[in-house]
Amino acid sequence: MSGVARRLSRLDGPPLASSRRASRILIAVAAGIGVTAFGGRWWAAVIGLAVGFAVERHLRRREPAQVRDARLRAVADLPLSCDLLAAALRAGAPVDRAVSAVAEALGGPLGERLDRVGRSLRLGADPPEAWAHLADVAGANRLIASAVRSSASGGALARALTRIADDLRGDRAAAADAAARRAGVLIVLPLGLCFLPAFVLAGLVPVVVAVLGDVL
């Protein structure tokens, strides 16, 4: 870990991963003990151990609601952050100051990441290291690549950010249209399943009965 990274780790709040891991293990242990106590036999301990392990694996794969909401909000704020950052750069602000100003104005999960980017740049971090704080935001890879390439020119970065904001909004509109089409298909399927038995009973069964009656 570089000196810049160490200084940033002291500035950032303590990670929540350890607390989430402790809660996950506690729930898994409680589930295993509950199964063991319910069985009341020695073999129940084996089943309880298996249940506890399964619960821990399930909770590990499951994304917490708070994390999911923060991730979705960061993705939603990404086009606006590009517009704001482009405007600040066109006004003549240095990249690090522009990023910090946008972070303060934007707030939220994306604002926190941008604040770390601005502090990294002011502390002398290389652009790839500084902009890597946005790497976990879906769609930010284009912003990171443009920022690293245009680190020496704020004007070039401003033009790139405007294009990226337009592209992100276009991608969001396309995704919303595709989701609407899928929703339409999913709505039609239950209706088809409901009408199919009625069609069979009202249309096919009388014909089959009539044909069998003539044959027999």
Residues 22-64: pLDDT tens digits? Answer: 777 787 777 777 777 777 777 777 777 887 778 777 767 765 6
Q: Are the CB atoms for 157 and 89 separated by under 8 Å? A: yes
- For residues 195-214, give the mean pLDDT: 68
For the chain, what is the mean pLDDT?
77
Alpha-carbon gap, residue 163 to 157, rounded angstroms:
10
14 pLDDT higher than 50: no
- For residues 116-125, give the mean pLDDT: 90
10 Å Cβ neighbour count for 134? 21
- CA nearest 155: which of 99, 89, 81, 87? 89
Alpha-carbon gap, residue 158 to 92, rounded angstroms:
10
pLDDT tens column, 62-73: 656 777 787 888
Q: Where are the domains of the chain?
A: 67-172
Neighbour-count burial of 73, counting CB atoms closer than 10 A to its CB (0-12 exposed, 13-18 middle, 19+ buried): middle
Q: Are the CB atoms for 148 and 127 separated by under 8 Å? A: yes
Q: 67-172: what CATH class?
A: mainly alpha
The per-residue pLDDT for 1 is 47
Torsion sign, CA atoms 146, 133, 168, 161: negative
Q: Are the CB atoms for 10 and 19 separated by under 8 Å? A: no
pLDDT tens column, 160-178: 888 988 888 888 888 777 7
196 pLDDT higher than 70: no
The per-residue pLDDT for 11 is 45
pTM of this structure: 0.59
Local confidence band at 205 (pLDDT 50, 70, 90 cut-offs): low
Query: Over pLDDT 70: what percentage of the chain?
Result: 71
